[in-house]
């Protein structure tokens, strides 16, 4: 497999990083570990979606939606008088 990672933003979830990045070849029975970062623009329970892996050799795209749900809350800010 020769993989390309695409990160598609949703209305509330925005992926940080380079979309369309070549991940290289993945041999049978092997794995690849990636750190992915996202930013939520809306508070509350958010569904993590929008990952696409394309095998450029087979020309097949694997779509990963509703991977997880995350509860987003704002951080409390203290103001000194």
**53 contacts: CB under 8 Å, gap ≥ 6:** 3, 4, 5, 6, 23, 61, 62, 64
pLDDT the model gives residue 63: 95
pLDDT the model gives residue 16: 93
pLDDT the model gives residue 80: 76
| Lookup result for tokens 């095998």 | 55
Computed from CA positions of residues 43, 69, 13, 18, in that sequence, does the dihedral angle turn out positive or negative? Answer: positive
pLDDT the model gives residue 14: 93
Contact 15, 38 (CB under 8 A): yes
Tokens of 18: 């380079």
Using alpha carbons, select from 38, 26, 33 the residue that is nearest to residue 1.
26
Domain range summary for the chain, segments of one domain joined by +: 2-72
Residues of the chain with pLDDT under 70: 77, 81
């Amino acid at each position: 497999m020769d993989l390309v990672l695409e990160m598609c933003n949703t209305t509330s979830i925005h992926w940080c990083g380079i979309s369309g990045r070549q991940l290289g070849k993945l041999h049978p029975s092997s794995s690849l570990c990636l750190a992915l970062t996202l930013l939520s623009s809306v508070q509350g329970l958010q569904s993590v979606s929008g990952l696409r892996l394309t095998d450029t050799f087979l020309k097949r795209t694997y779509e990963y939606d509703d991977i997880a749900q995350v509860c987003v809350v704002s951080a409390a800010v203290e103001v000194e008088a």
